[in-house]
């Protein structure tokens, strides 16, 4: 497993994707955006595996999968399309032990290359600068420091990345394209299971014996950082346990 400590701030020239000048980079981005939008239309009815096979054929080593280790469904699918595929995991320093255990198990049993990204500061260093329990006082800033900035740095060498977003998870994800353009990061963003339901996920897990986070069977249908995740009560939405009691619904990784 590779562990990469990331930093915050504006990427340096060494961090930036190779390019000769601003005009060339702008042209490249326009081409990638057009490619993503066309693929989103063409692949809307394709299977998740076909979508990932297209991604591998199109981007090769400049394609990766990101995983929160809630389950390893997309990582498993991607390993079928491209054995040894890079699977990027954000270790925020606040994860449940079960989540770290799932990451370690995925690395041990699946044909993937797990890359763990860590924030610039440890939790203790962040507490010293911003005060303890920043996640309670300013969860958006905490997510920005421990999730968003590390991911942006970690994705620098890739032109396309895959996520496990599904349209049925929440209203904010209802329009997720199977292939789209990540305007913020200037990359192609692939959501191969966007059209899946929870039943589809469960069926795939059962058929292929895919690893899942043990917390999914312990009242946590959506697993995030431990301080900001609680068990969901009967009748609640699957993501009701994330940032409970606040208006926050997303960590910032997806818009």
Count CB-CB contacts under 10 A for residue 29: 16
Q: CB-based burial of residue 106 (10 Å sphere; 0-12 exposed, 13-18 middle, 19+ buried)?
A: buried
3-state secondary structure of 161: strand
C-alpha–C-alpha distance, residues 221 and 34, integer Å:
35
3-state secondary structure of 201: helix
What element of type H or E holds 109?
A: helix 97-109
C-alpha–C-alpha distance, residues 193 and 98, integer Å:
24
Q: How confident is the model at residue 94 (pLDDT cuts 50, 70, 90)?
A: very high
Structure tokens at 211: 């690893």
Tell the residue number behind the tokens 């507490």, with chain if given: 127
The confidence score (pLDDT) of residue 3 equals 67
Q: What percent of the chain has pLDDT over 70?
A: 87
Average pLDDT over residues 32-49: 97
Is the predicted pLDDT of residue 46 greater than 50, yes or no? yes
Catalytic residue among 143, 225, 228, 251: 251
Q: How confident is the model at residue 20 (pLDDT cuts 50, 70, 90)?
A: very low
The confidence score (pLDDT) of residue 15 equals 36
The confidence score (pLDDT) of residue 170 equals 77
Decide if 166 contacts 197 (C-beta within 8 A).
yes
What mean pLDDT, rounded, does the chain reach?
Answer: 88
C-alpha–C-alpha distance, residues 107 and 75, integer Å:
10
251 is catalytic: yes
Decide if 85 contacts 46 (C-beta within 8 A).
no
Lowest mean pLDDT of 52-66, 165-179, 200-214, name the range. Answer: 165-179
- Per residue in 97-132, pLDDT tens? 999 999 999 999 999 999 999 999 999 999 999 999
Higher-scoring residue by pLDDT: 21, 57: 57
Count CB-CB contacts under 10 A for residue 127: 13
Structure tokens at 215: 């917390």
Structure tokens at 32: 């990638």
Model pTM?
Answer: 0.86
- Per residue in 150-176, pLDDT tens? 999 999 999 999 999 999 887 888 899
Average pLDDT over residues 240-249: 72
| Bridge partners for 187 per DSSP | 182
The confidence score (pLDDT) of residue 246 equals 74
């Amino acid at each position: 497993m590779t562990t990469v400590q990331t930093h915050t701030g504006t990427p340096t020239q060494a961090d930036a994707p190779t390019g000769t000048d601003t005009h060339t980079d702008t042209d490249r981005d326009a081409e990638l955006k057009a490619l993503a939008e066309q693929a989103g239309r063409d692949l809307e009815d394709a299977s998740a595996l076909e979508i990932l096979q297209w991604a591998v054929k199109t981007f090769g080593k400049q394609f990766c999968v990101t995983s929160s280790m809630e389950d390893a469904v997309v990582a498993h699918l991607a390993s079928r399309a491209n054995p040894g595929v890079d699977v990027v995991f954000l270790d925020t320093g606040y994860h449940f032990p079960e989540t770290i255990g799932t990451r370690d198990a995925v690395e041990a049993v699946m044909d993937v290359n797990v890359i763990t990204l860590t924030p610039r500061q440890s939790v203790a260093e962040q507490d010293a600068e911003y005060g303890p329990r920043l996640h309670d006082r300013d969860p958006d800033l905490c997510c920005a420091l421990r999730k968003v900035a590390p991911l942006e740095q970690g994705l620098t060498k890739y032109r396309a990345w895959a996520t496990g977003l599904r349209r049925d998870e929440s209203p904010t994800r209802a329009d997720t394209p199977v292939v789209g353009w990540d305007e913020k990061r200037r990359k192609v963003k692939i959501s191969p299971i966007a059209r899946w339901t929870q039943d589809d996920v469960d069926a795939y897990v059962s058929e292929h014996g895919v690893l899942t986070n043990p917390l999914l069977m312990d009242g946590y249908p959506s697993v995030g950082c431990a301080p900001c995740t609680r068990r969901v009560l009967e009748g609640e939405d699957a993501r009701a346990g994330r940032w409970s009691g606040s208006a926050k619904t997303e960590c910032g990784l997806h818009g």
